Amino acid sequence: MIEVQHLSKRYGRVTAVDDVSFRVERGEILGFLGPNGAGKTTTMRILTGYMPATEGKAIVAGFDVFDQPLEAKRRTGYLPETPPLYPDMSVIEYLTFVAKIKGVPGNERRDRVNQVMTRAHVADMANRLCSKLSKGYRQRVGLAQALIHNPDVLILDEPTAGLDPKQIIETRQLIKELAGNHTIILSTHILPEVSQTCQRVVIINKGKVVAIDTPDNLTARLRGSETMYVQIDAAAGAESAHAALSHVPGVTRVVESDRRDNAIGYEVDSETGRDVRRDLARAVVGQGLGLLELRPMRMSLEDIFLSLTTDETPEPAAPATEAGDMVNA
């Protein structure tokens, strides 16, 4: 559905996007991950036909964005970083205007506007001026705008930025519902967002693609060893707890990470590919220590990012662990 081949964009001497290639299949959600200034927005702007690339090719919905821009744009919905709203229009007027310039036929316009307002949960603000909307509503009107002509491809630049937690969940849910009928590229710098919504992730840094994979594989691949977080009742004493954890077969390292009034937390490293959770739990409970918490530690985007951009040699792949497994005492 979307094919990007050796795309580069240079502004004078600055290279914003450097030889980026990837594919997105129909109905897939692709996450675009990277820090600010990595070239996410530039890549998206090229895909939407806002600006031409210096080199390379981008094909969206079967049309080259440079050679047949109008055909490509007709099939693309785009939510820029700041929703492009006209402050002096009401939501319904704005969406009607967008429908017009996106080529929605006159007799379908009203229906489409109502549909997308329901879809993006902005129907209750239909007659409110865009300038009077809260940040969350602006973002959602922006999303409604991108959907108005029912495009094959949706390109969303940080769709959840600036939303409150409830709205973030709703927006993610909406994006997931849209996949299937639409092919979606979304950019973000929040890792959980990617793992919850995207099937595949492109990590981009300084204009270069540093990794393309599924979120689980990425997280797993970047972890040389498995790390567990274990929290134990402090009443038993730090010494015995440390000893108990260290003696579990497969454990390579035990580090105390935090200590509160009545609980001590440890980071426990184990050999790659060996699930030591059962043994850890048994050891702790067997020693008569109070097990308060036991969970695998997920790498944050910062960790992944650091390892991807500083490590020269890729680390050996390791099987993924299931997310969210947690033992609470």
Partner 1 sequence: MRNILAIAQKELRSYFASPIAYIVLGFWALLYGWFFITILAYFVRASMQAGQFGPQAANVNQQLIRPLVQNVTILVLFLLPMVTMRTYSEEKRSGTIELLLTSPITDWQIILGKFIGAMALYGAMLLVTMIHLGLLFYFGRPEWKPVLTAYLGLLLLGGCFVSVGLFISSLTKNQIVAGMVTFAVFLLLWVITWIGSFSGPTVDQLTQYLSIVDHLDDFGKGVLDTTHIIYYLSFITFGLFLTSKSVESERWRG
Asked if 294 and 277 touch (Cβ cutoff 8 Å), the reply is yes
* DSSP output for 264-279: EEEEEEE-TT---HHH
Options 6, 51, 258, 329; binder of partner 1; rule CB under 8 A: 51
Residues 12-41 interacting with partner 1 (rule: CB under 8 A): 16
The residue (of 51 and 285) whose beta carbon lies closer to partner 1 is: 51
215 binds partner 1 (CB under 8 A): no
Q: How far, in Å, are 5, 21, 304 from residue 203 at the CA level? A: 16, 12, 10
Which range binds partner 1 by CB under 8 A, 75-83, 169-177, 236-244, 275-283? 75-83
70 binds partner 1 (CB under 8 A): yes
The residue (of 87 and 319) whose beta carbon lies closer to partner 1 is: 87
Asked if 268 and 253 touch (Cβ cutoff 8 Å), the reply is yes
**How many whole angstroms separate alpha carbon 135 and alpha carbon 133?**
7
The residue (of 81 and 267) whose beta carbon lies closer to partner 1 is: 81
Is residue 15 classed as helix, strand or coil in its secondary structure?
A: strand
If residue 235 lies in a helix (H) or strand (E), which one and from where to where? none
**How many whole angstroms separate alpha carbon 275 and alpha carbon 250?**
9
Options 43, 76, 171, 183; binder of partner 1; rule CB under 8 A: 76
CB of 47 vs partner 1, minimal distance in Å? 9
Options 62, 67, 86, 286; binder of partner 1; rule CB under 8 A: 86
Total of residues contacting partner 1 (CB under 8 A): 33
CB of 35 vs partner 1, minimal distance in Å? 19
Asked if 120 and 143 touch (Cβ cutoff 8 Å), the reply is yes
The closest of 62, 76, 69 to 3, measured between CA atoms, is 62
Which residues of the chain form contacts with partner 1 (CB under 8 A)?
9, 11, 16, 42, 45, 48-52, 70-71, 73-74, 76, 78, 80-89, 97-98, 100-103, 145
